Every structure is written in structure tokens, then in C-alpha cells.
Structure 1
Amino acid sequence: MKVGRAAVVGLLLVLAVGCGEDDSAESGTAAYGARSCATWLADMDDGDRFLGAKEMLLNAKAADGTEGDVDPDGETIEQFRDGITEACRQTSTDALLANVADDVFAANEDLYTL
């Protein structure tokens, strides 16, 4: 199972960074996973955080092999968003959201899968 988690982390990082965006693109064009916790906490509103949580949850579920093509319901996305927010408050502000989202997903996988 640890190999699976490593694969999820690797895939999320590729998805987050693979868009060719640099850190200066955090204004709204970078993939959500490539943004930092500082941006999540200070620069994004609840609507942006909801969209980011949805994108990163779908990516995590796809990498995990569990319903990556099934849109989670709004309540599940809100719980994931809140988990990312809380994790960002407890970690370094320069942490990449892809890493934080992976940790939140892995810690609560049963909650986020059907």
C-alpha cells in the first residue's frame, strides 16, 4: 500500500507541476496543486477553494483508482476543502497544495470514496 501512496504523491506532483506554470502564476492560472498553502489561505476565496478542492479530490481519486471520473457531491468537496484549509494552517505556508491534498485524502480515504 505504501507504493500506492507514493504513486499518488508522484502523480499529483506531475499533475500539479506538469502544466509548465511557475510560482509567479499563482494569481489564478496555475493548477491548484501547484499553488502554496499561503495562496490557499490568503489569496483564494471560498469559491476558488471549492473549485481547487474538487480538482484535487478528483485527481487523488483518479490516482488512487477509485472513481476518478465520478464527481463528488458538494458536501464531500466542502469537507475536503475544510481538511485542506486546516492542514494548511498546521503546516508550512510554502507547502504545495498537491502534497497537502494528498495527505488529507490518504488520512481520510474512506470519507472521500463511495
Structure 2
Amino acid sequence: LKEMKAFLSSIPYNAEKQDENHYKTLFYLIARLCTPYVVKTEECSAAGRSDMVIETENAVYVFEFKLDGTVEEALAQIDSKGYLIPYSVTKDKNGNDKKLVKIGVSFDAEKRTLGEWKIIEN
């Protein structure tokens, strides 16, 4: 996330409209292009859509993004909407449960980059 913050900070302020979808799309594209993992955006479940999910060999990371919101709001949404539940039975190649991780990220509109983030392993 530190590298993502540095990258987003390098984009000119007048490049385009910088709303939450702008940041979410950039975050998705960078993750998709720079990692070998399964990266999904707007991942639908029974109670809503998580902003992004990254699935690795041993873990599932569920992201919720907020523009000028708090990481606590983002993490609370992951919990209230049950975004981790569909992955609670996801197994690795050895049949073990994959680690589930929720990540709340706030984007700072004034600085035009990541603000804060918090990572919680369930």
C-alpha cells in the first residue's frame, strides 16, 4: 500500500475527475497488472458489492475504499455486508482454509492519493 500511495501521488492533479471510482479503478488496474493474483472489482455477494478482492494461493483479501471517509467506516461495511462470508470456506491447494483479510482504505481527495489504511486478519 505504501507503493500504491507513492504511485497515485505521482498522477497530475488535473489528469481527470478524481472521485472514488477513479481511485478504485487505478487501484484495480495496478493490482491486476503488477501481481500474478486473481483480482476482482465490484465483487457481488448476497448483501452487496465489495470494492475489490485479491485472491492468492493462501489468502483472500477483501478491500473497501472510501473517498474522504475513514478506514473504520470501510471495515465496518465489510463486516455489516458480510463481504468475507463467501470466502469463509475457500481452501488452498492442501485443503486448508485460506486466511481471510479485510482491508479498509481511505483516499484523501485533497492530497489525491491514499490517506490511511488498516489491515485486519480474521
Q: Under a length normalisation based on structure 2, what TM-score does the superposition of the two structures give?
A: 0.35
Higher strand share: 2
- Higher relative contact order (CA closer than 8 Å, sequence separation 6+): 1
Higher helix share: 1
Q: Under a length normalisation based on structure 1, what TM-score does the superposition of the two structures give?
A: 0.37
Structure number with bigger Rg: 2
